[in-house]
Amino acid sequence: NYTRDITNGKRSADLFDLVAYNEDCSFVGALRFICDLFSLDYYKEPEERPESLEILSFVNGLCTENEEFDDTPLKPIDKSVLKYYLPYGNKMFEDDGIPLDTQYKFNVMYDPYSNRIIIPLHDSLGEIVGLKGRLMKYDLEDYEQKYLYMTSGFNKSKYLSGLYETYELIKAQGYCLIFESEKSVMKAYSHGIGSVAILGCQLSRYQVELLTRLNVPLIFALDKDRSLDDIKKECNKFLEQISIWYIYDKDNLLPDKTAPIDDWDAFQVLKKNNTYKFKKGELK
């Protein structure tokens, strides 16, 4: 009887919801619990698919608009790799609204050899599955890349930045903000707000699943340069029963190509006055 009410009618509950409810953990924590229970490897590489089933991959790819079908699992990285970096915060992030205590929370480091700020990417279980480096330089030359993934094989379509670090905040506040970048998550955290970043502007099916199983209202807060149709297209990927909202800067409070959280004062106004309920079917 308890399990019938877990999702409050938003969707059908399943075995993973039961475990998450009983163990008081996230969906990914429930996956890990079941893997441990049956001695399965949570990070196991996918087995080679028989030739007779290759058509399933093809159909899967066709069913997902503008999304490259990638089933590569996230793989944990030995934490000893962090010894090659200096455990220091930086003034560049601090000046940009990410105080040193927040940088410490997210384990921000520095690589003197590449002159990059290192952002460890933790999966929902706290394992390091990737490293991202931001060139510590304000004015970049044309040939210089602002961000680089410092490790190979990182599948961002199976990752939500900030979910591990802010999961308890998300559950306590009763909603989840969805940003594009890790820095937005850090800025929100510095103001006591739990959120995630999708590392881009398009949600994968796996990210939709993770967000759906949070069982809280979701609020999209994509960058200023995303059109209203772009935002609604992402909202439309969820079941009709899921409570979806979006922040849209129709009053032009933000400069182009900025995230809503980049200006805290403007963000508060946007969250209060420019947050709209999404209704399934708004986007044809």
Q: Beta partners for 219? A: 177, 245
Structure token pair of residue 99? 């105080």
Q: What is the pTM of this model?
A: 0.87
54 pLDDT more than 60: no
Q: How confident is the model at residue 276 (pLDDT cuts 50, 70, 90)?
A: very high
pLDDT digits (tens, 9 = 90+) for 229-271: 999 999 999 998 899 999 999 999 999 889 999 999 999 999 9
Q: Which long-range contacts (CB under 8 A, 24 or more apart) does 74-77 make?
A: 74/43, 74/123, 74/129, 74/130, 74/154, 74/155, 74/158, 74/159, 75/43, 75/129, 75/153, 76/43, 76/123, 76/127, 76/128, 76/129, 77/127, 77/128, 77/129, 77/130, 77/131, 77/151
Q: How confident is the model at residue 63 (pLDDT cuts 50, 70, 90)?
A: very low
| Residue of 42 and 250 predicted with greater confidence | 250
pLDDT digits (tens, 9 = 90+) for 150-169: 988 889 999 999 999 999 99
pLDDT digits (tens, 9 = 90+) for 89-110: 999 999 999 999 999 999 999 9
17 pLDDT more than 80: yes
pLDDT digits (tens, 9 = 90+) for 208-228: 999 999 999 999 999 999 999
Token pair 């009410």 in the structure block, residue = 5
Q: Are strands 244-247 and 218-220 parallel, antiparallel or unpaired?
A: parallel
Which positions ≥6 away from 283 have C-beta within 8 Å? Answer: 229, 232, 233, 235, 236
62 pLDDT more than 70: no
User: How much is the average pLDDT of 83-93?
Assistant: 95
